[in-house]
Amino acid sequence: MRVGVLTGGGDCPGLNAVLRAVTRKGISVFGHEIIGFRNGWLGPIEGLTTPLTLDKVEEILNRGGTILGSSRTNPYKVDGGVDRLKATIAEHRIDALVAIGGEDTLGVAEKLTQEGVPVVGVPKTIDNDLDATDYTFGFDTAVHIATEAIDRLRTTAESHHRALVVEVMGRHAGWIALHSGLAGGANVILVPEQEFSVERVVDWVQQRFERQYAPIIVVAEGAIPEGGEELLAGGEKDAFGHVRLGGVGTWLADEIANRTGKESRAVVLGHTQRGGTPTAYDRVLATRFGLHAIDAITDGDHGKMVALRGTDIVRVPLSEATAALKTVPKERLAEAEVLFG
């Protein structure tokens, strides 16, 4: 078999581990030929290919990003994109395709499956918001990076008696904010799933100052104040209709300073959460996903996504994985709130 593979959407640690696993097992166990498509869905649209050999994946397990490159290209938004994609697959005699990505990339994969293109999906997103899987690789690394940042910021906050607001990624789901905030001992955690009261945040901040400690507030980029709306870093939409969020951390820091009279600073972690070496957990999870994805390809079990359920890797329909976002449930937020202030 000739198997195509691509990485789409935002990069994250662990992508190369999947490519390594797909290539090693695909070649060594099944005798497949593995063809990499560059730059996400743009690769099969424009015929951007590179062979993936055992030598090419030998030293990539611990590398962040993706050796294939990525993009937020949507074939359904490109003039003739789907037809050109199908033509490329036919030209290169691709028997099946492994698509590694999040809701947008796998949403395209699900549509292509309905049109007869044989695709198997691998879930990737640092936001951990893909449904039908307990965890996605990249999330653990992002949480570790954010937690380390909180630990470092706490010492400087205490030294200068400041409130520090840490803005992390999370457009519609607050998993990074929740997990890093809990792990870092944040005094307030704000997520997109629940609008927040500025007055209540200020009250928690005051309580912390009264105890002679500096408050740490972790806020997801998509968090919304009561009666407000998302703060946008830019007005342009990408090919999947997303605008770039950002600025809620700075806005909240200013509100805290104005209402308390205390010095307040904001730190936006941004793309540092995506970069660098993946954690051991993400390397193992990504590797297992890759091994099971090439199994599904070999079995001809297309239209599926490999998913983590408990400690097992299972196959679920792509339609199930992309039907809805996995957001933080209210009971998880209630658990955290008892630690605030």
Q: Residue 103, annotated ligand binder?
A: yes
The reply, when asked if residue 265 is annotated as ligand binding, is: yes
Does the annotation flag 273 for ligand binding? yes
Cα 52 from Cα 46, distance rounded (Å): 18
Q: For residue 127, indicate whether it is catalytic.
A: yes
Cα–Cα distance, 303 to 112 (Å, whole number): 9
Q: How far apart are CA 48 and CA 40, in angstroms?
A: 10
- Of the residues 127, 129, 140, 295, only one is catalytic, namely 127
Tell me if 126 is assigned to a ligand binding site: yes
CA atoms of 26 and 33, how far apart (whole Å): 7
Q: Tell me: is residue 131 an annotated ligand-binding position.
A: no
Assess contact for 97 and 4: CB atoms under 8 A: yes
d(CA 13, CA 167): 20
- Comparing C-alpha atoms, which of 54, 37, 1, 15 is closest to residue 287? 15
**272 labeled part of a ligand binding site:** yes
Nearest C-alpha neighbor of 10 from the set 97, 100, 76: 100
Residue 127 known to bind ligand: yes
Is 167 annotated to bind ligand?
no
- Is 162 marked within a binding site? yes
Any known ligand binding at 10? yes
First to last CA, the chain: 58
Mark the binding-site residues, compressed into ranges. 10, 103, 125-127, 162, 169-171, 221, 265, 271-274
Mark the binding-site residues for diphosphate, compressed into ranges. 10
- Residue positions annotated with a catalytic role: 127
Mark the binding-site residues for Mg(2+), compressed into ranges. 103
Mark the binding-site residues for substrate, compressed into ranges. 125-127, 162, 169-171, 221, 265, 271-274
